[in-house]
Structure 1
Amino acid sequence: MTDGSPAAEPSITPERTFALVVGVESYEIDARLNLPGPARDAVRFADWLTGTAGVPKGNVRLLLSPLADTGVEVASKPATQKNVEDALFTDLPRCEGDLLWIYWAGHGFLDRRHDLLLPYADATAGLFAHLNLSSALRRWKSDEIAGGRFHRTVTVGDACRLDIGRLKGKFSQVNYPTGAPTRRMQFTLYASRPGETAKNTVRAGQFTDTLLRRLEGRTLEQATLGLSDIARDVQADFTVMRADGTAWQHPQFDIALGWDGSSLHGDTWADGGTPRGQTGGLVLDQVAWTELGQLISEETELPRDTYAAYRWAFEVTGCVPPAVHTLPSSDLVEIVRDLDDRQGASRAVPLALPFVKHLASRAAPSPWVVAANAWVERTRARLGADPVPVPPSRPVESPALHVRLTEDDENSYRLQLWSFQGVGTTWATFRNPWSWKPCGRRSPITS
């Protein structure tokens, strides 16, 4: 029997820690993409895991594709699509572990959703095969990973985050199957901001080099629970290096906890909290997620009132909204997933329902609006949630007149008037001559 108290967070032990460590230097697609350094960095990171951190070597999946002259001679499998996907989606999910570390060094690109795409060593011009790291992490946060395993995932990406437009047409769309969201904690540390390159110095990643110095001497538990402070120390190191001209990138970190009171982009990582499902919060079921996937396609663009709908969902349910005034994603389904992750103990209504209803209320009449409202009501009734209030109307902007007066020449002025109201803007331009006298007044001349 149990006393009904929440289950304790599993302790962090090396024996129940597993890792995927990847370093890609050699690319089949084009020798010009070859990148000295990542394989050596991956070996150094694996050495920290199996050394100071104490993770058994048998728990680390090391995949390397080194260049011939880099001197990396460690037993490993090549970083091909098959080997990476076998390790990440078949092998590791079957392991009895509590903590997963993922380390990747190599090239990286961002797609239009800001998903991080990491090319494999066997990427070719015809098929730029890649790991969609962001999608993979979403899969690892869902019930596709058996319950009771891997409560924490730590991901370190020493890769550029360049716009995919640079290699337009070479990346296929990759999204891995996900189930219902689960309460798993994820910490992701990136080497750079979106749009930035990650710098190599003397065949070593500057980011990995800096991070390993901060990890030196720390046990696995100290490193894992202290990740927020370690990440800030790394950021501070790069601030100093940028100031002296030896660095240009800005490392970033992202925390996803998945329950009310813990921002997905906040600082709470060490606190285990209450596992999802034990708070009593009312969240979407699998039927709702399946139907939502049919309602919202990946190509659906964000409506102009998406952020208003997002904030209203918190307001109308009495939940505390995130401190950061930004959307968590540019993808509607991921925004709904974010809302569902943030659901607290309230059983009144899932945050996702008022969000979708608000979007439907602001859209032009269409079959989609009918389907969206039907989904909200059908889901509400099935889950036993309270009725969703009527969303507020779009506020009407007060009429305004903007006037600009500029001197055309020594004898005339140019008058421009703009008037607008609501969402539309109209403007007209008028040219009126004015006389000017050095010691007199300006007076209009009728024409």
Structure 2
Amino acid sequence: MLETPPQRTLALVVGIDHYEYGEDWRLHGPAADALRCVEWLIDRGVPKENIALFLSTESWKDAGVMQWVANRQWPQERAATRDDIVRFVDKELLTRAPDAEALFMFWGGHGVIDDYDRSNYLYTEDAAEGRPYCISAPDLMGALHGSRFEHFAEQVLVVDACANKFSDTGEAARPAVGNFARTSVNNDIRQVQMFAASPGNLASNDTQRETGRFADALFRALKAGEVPGWPDFEQAFDDSLSDVDASELLRTQQPFMVMEWPGKARRRAGRVPVRSRTVEELLKLVNKVSPAPALLYRLYLRSLPDASRSIGHVAIEKWLRDLEDKRPREDNFPSPLVEFGERLAREAKSAEIASWVDTATRDNASARQALRSALDAEAQGQRPRATLFIEVDAQTQAELRWWIHAPDPAHCSALQSVAVDLSLRSDVATRLGAITAEAERVVGHRYDLMVGMIVPEKLLLAELESLKVAFEEDGLPGKPTPLNRRYPVILHWHRRARAGQDAAGKPINAWRQAVTALAPRFEAGGGADVIWLEAPDDEETDASAIAAAKLLRAGGTGICVGLGHPAAGEGGLPPEDIQGCLREGVPCFFWLAKPPDGAQDVRKLLCDVFSKQAAREAPLSIGKLLRLAKGSDPLSSVRIVWDEPGHLPSLQSFQNPSTGGQT
């Protein structure tokens, strides 16, 4: 699996037996496993000077460790504190062993996972009550995936630590995570990650033998298959779970492996795949229906209990096997595989797949009914969409024009206008209150009402969508509430919304080409997959152009571009990232109004949220989620530009009078 010779490999090995939390946190095994790992690396041919060993300060004083240090003439005793490890990765890793091309990492000790099952937190030795110092495994691997470490083209991480919920530890403080320097992603880097426990599970130690059960099984498998160079880590992972203790290890810990290669990623559950008659039967029916791959992937994500644990864009058979491996999202639900079948049966209107669901749940009819009731409630919550378009006059910025488009022409409204002073947010809020009250009167409760705000370039970041409005409640003004907490709100660039035959110029032409290229993806029924705009390595590189090219590349699945939290623009103009998306014709993009905590985790969360929504209806679905989001939730600060033709008004809508609708 690793092609780099061991002689050109650098290793980071961490084993923590002692913590400042106290004696209750004492472990018997991680330090010994770390030394065992070092011995194995040296036996493979990794130079001793290429190995950085971190133990707790107390472990370095242990008689056995001291004897080992003397025998090996070990050059440096490193303390396994948060800052020492971050400093090593950020600084020393770049200069140590400059000819190294691969990186091997082992971590043994205490660990937890966040309450969203997304980030494994690995405690450092200086973790204590009120300051739970730790390293985030996704942050570490994200940093190592950056261009700074592109010379480490192959990277392996082995973690033998628990993955129980952080909230179950009783710690009042939030995880105090070490921050690594980040650079743009290098997609040519290959990573393999092995974890001793799946989310929610504990990893156990054999205290008498002083070893972690997963580390022990893995190193025995690695040594058993020794050949020149590196062993096959995937085979070793399987072999480690195939010995006499495998069934117990699988039952209690459920180890798993994640492999990320250029262009693909996949997750292996902790067992050797076996033929499944249930999967094979469903696969035949799926192939018979022959739905678009994008639709299948969206339904796969919707059926996962945690979409962040998806295995990416792979063959449909692997999606089905992955779903079969997962636990139900609710205790009274059938397996995620059955949920996928039920969702597909509904979307494809397939009686055969619905019959397969009945057969698969014949011994648990109550679980089948619970699932169908939940999906019925989900469907009933998706009413037809009506849009209240509100346009700010691009020239005078002293007038609001508005009208309603609904599926039934009887519920559309003629274009109306009202004078407004945009410099007075209170005046804008008052006008919006009156406009939305009239819109509610017209559409009533027949539709899901969303707001499409058509604005000039300089107002994209004016935060009109978050203005507090005193919405009318039973004829009386209610408590002021942000507009986007009441309705899903999306922004439209006025030049695109009014792009008639006379509209020209590079931004409009590029946009027209983009919507034409993306149209088949919208029609396929897939999710709103995100392409992230990455910070360029140099000032001359146009990050927006690169993101647009990735979005539109042949065979891609991208629908929109994520910008993170853009830096402020100059002279009242939007930030360069937003201007770049307009200039390059990117139809759909979003950003965060507030800088996020833990950018990598936020990216994963937003990717999951967007990918699970049907692309055509993503703004409405995400807008509904935003209305429920709390202030600390990254979704609460998402701002969306969605200039896809299905969400733009028809040109006739701008004429007065008008009952024109959307294209």
Q: TM-score, normalised by structure 2?
A: 0.41
State the alpha-carbon separation in 2 of the partners of residues 124 and 205 from structure 1.
Answer: 23
2:8 to 11, 16, 36: 16
User: In the TM superposition, what whole-angstrom CA distance separates every residue of 1:102-140 from its partner, at most 9, and x where no partner exists?
Assistant: 100100110134211111111122311111111110111
Flag the 1:334–1:80 CA change in 2: closer, same or farther, 3 A: farther
Paired AA for residue 154 in structure 1: V
SS of equivalent to 2:254: coil
1:376-416 per-residue CA deviation (whole Å, 9 max, x = no partner) reads: x6xxxxxxxxxx6759xxxxxxxxxxxxxxxxxxxxxxxxx
- 1:205 and 2:212 matched: yes
Q: Is the 8 A contact 1:151 1:185 kept in 2?
A: yes
Q: CA deviation at 1:61?
A: 0.3
Match of residue 482 from structure 2:
none
Mapped partners of 1:266, 1:363: distance in 2 = 30
Match of 1:360 among 619, 630, 635: 619
Q: Distance in 2 between matches of 1:255 and 1:362?
A: 31
The structure-2 alpha-carbon separation of the partners of 1:333 and 1:122, relative to structure 1 and needing over 3 Å to count, comes to farther
- The 3 A distance-change label for structure 1 pair 389 and 50 is farther
Partner of 1:324: 319
Residues 361 and 229 of structure 1: is their aligned pair in 2 closer, same or farther, counting only changes over 3 Å?
same
Cα separation, partners in 2 of 1:185 and 1:31, compared to 1, 3 Å: same
**Cα shift at 1:229:** 1.0
Structure 2 residues not aligned, in runs of 5+: 270-296, 303-312, 324-526, 534-545, 563-587, 589-614, 628-635, 648-663
2:533 pairs with 1:351: no
CA distance in 1, matches of 2:252, 2:65: 27
What CA deviation, in whole Å up to 9, does each residue of 1:208-231 have, x standing for no partner?
A: 1111111116246331xx111111
- Deviating beyond 6 angstroms after TM superposition, the runs of 4 or more aligned structure 1 residues are 244-247, 319-322, 332-335, 343-346, 365-370
Q: Pick from 159, 170, 176: which aligns with 1:172?
A: 176
Deviation at 1:36, TM superposition (A): 1.4
Distance 1:10 1:361, change over 3 A: same
- Describe the shift of the 1:34–1:180 C-alpha distance in structure 2 as closer, same or farther (beyond 3 A): same
Q: Report the equivalent of 2:265.
A: 263
Tell me which residue corresponds to 2:229.
221
Asked if 1 retains the 8 angstrom alpha-carbon contact of 2:530 and 2:561, the reply is: no
CA contact (8 A) 2:111 2:162 kept: yes
Cα displacement (A) at 1:82? 2.4
Give the SS at the match of 1:27: coil
Alignment of 1:78-117 (within 5 A): 78-94=79-95, 95-113=98-116, 114-117=118-121
What SS is found at the alignment partner of 1:71?
helix
Match for 1:372 among 610, 622, 640?
640
Query: What residue is the counterpart of 2:478 in the other structure?
Result: none
> How many pairs were matched up?
311
In structure 1, the residue matched to 2:140 is: 136
The structure-2 alpha-carbon separation of the partners of 1:242 and 1:125, relative to structure 1 and needing over 3 Å to count, comes to same
Which structure carries more relative contact order (alpha carbon 8 Å, separation 6+)?
Answer: 1
The answer to whether the 8 Å contact 2:13/2:51 transfers is: yes
Alpha carbons of 1:39 and 1:120: their partners in 2 closer, same or farther (altered >3 Å)?
same
Change (3 A) 1:254 1:70: farther
- Whether 1:189 and 2:190 are equivalent positions in the alignment is no
Q: State how far apart, in whole Å, the 2-side matches of 1:10 and 1:188 are.
A: 13
> SS in structure 1 opposite 2:132?
coil
| Cα distance change on mapping 1:112 and 1:352 into 2, 3 Å | farther
Asked if structure 1 preserves the Cα contact closer than 8 Å seen for 2:82 and 2:178, the reply is: no
Aligned-pair distance for 1:15?
Answer: 2.3
Partners of 1:230 and 1:363 lie apart in 2 by 42
Q: How does 1:220-369 map to 2 (within 5 A)?
A: 221-223=229-231, 226-237=232-243, 240-241=244-245, 243=247, 248-259=252-263, 262-265=264-267, 307=298, 323-324=318-319, 347-348=553-554, 351-354=557-560, 357=588, 358=615, 359-364=618-623
* Amino acid across the alignment from 2:621: R
User: 1:297-333 CA deviation, whole Å, 9 max, x = no partner?
Assistant: xxxxxxxxx946979xxxxxxx867642689xxxx99
- For 1:334 and 1:62, locate their aligned partners in 2 and report how far apart those are by CA, in whole Å: 40
Distance 2:228 2:167 in 1: 39
The separation in 1 between residues aligned to 2:89 and 2:101, in whole angstroms, is 15
Provide the rounded CA distance (Å) in 1 between the counterparts of 2:46 and 2:529. 33
Aligned to 1:63: 54
SS at match of 1:12: coil
Inter-partner Cα distance in structure 1 for 2:258 and 2:19: 29
User: Per the alignment, do residues 179 and 360 of structure 1 end up closer, same or farther by CA in structure 2, a change over 3 Å counting?
Assistant: farther
SS of residue in 2 equivalent to 1:263 = strand
Letter in 2 for 1:159: A
Identity of aligned residues (%): 24
By how many angstroms is 1:71 displaced?
A: 2.2
In structure 2, C-alpha distance between the alignment counterparts of 1:118 and 1:192, rounded to whole Å: 13
Residue by residue over 1:11-50, the C-alpha shift from the partner in whole angstroms, topping out at 9 and shown as x without a partner, is: 4112210000000001112221011111111000011001
Give the whole-Å Cα distance in 2 for the aligned partners of 1:127 and 1:363.
Answer: 35
1:205, distance to aligned residue in structure 2 (A): 1.3
- Give how far 1:79 is off: 0.8
TM-score (normalised: structure 1): 0.60
Q: Is the 8 A contact 1:199 1:247 kept in 2?
A: no
C-alpha RMSD over aligned residues: 4.0
- The one-letter code sitting in structure 2 at the alignment partner of 1:79 is A
SS in 1 for 2:242: helix
**Secondary structure class of the residue paired with 2:202:** coil
2:351 corresponds to which residue? none
Determine if contact 2:531/2:550 at 8 Å carries over to the other structure. no
**Contact 1:363–1:369, Cα closer than 8 Å, also in 2:** no
Give the deviation of 1:373 after TM superposition.
2.2
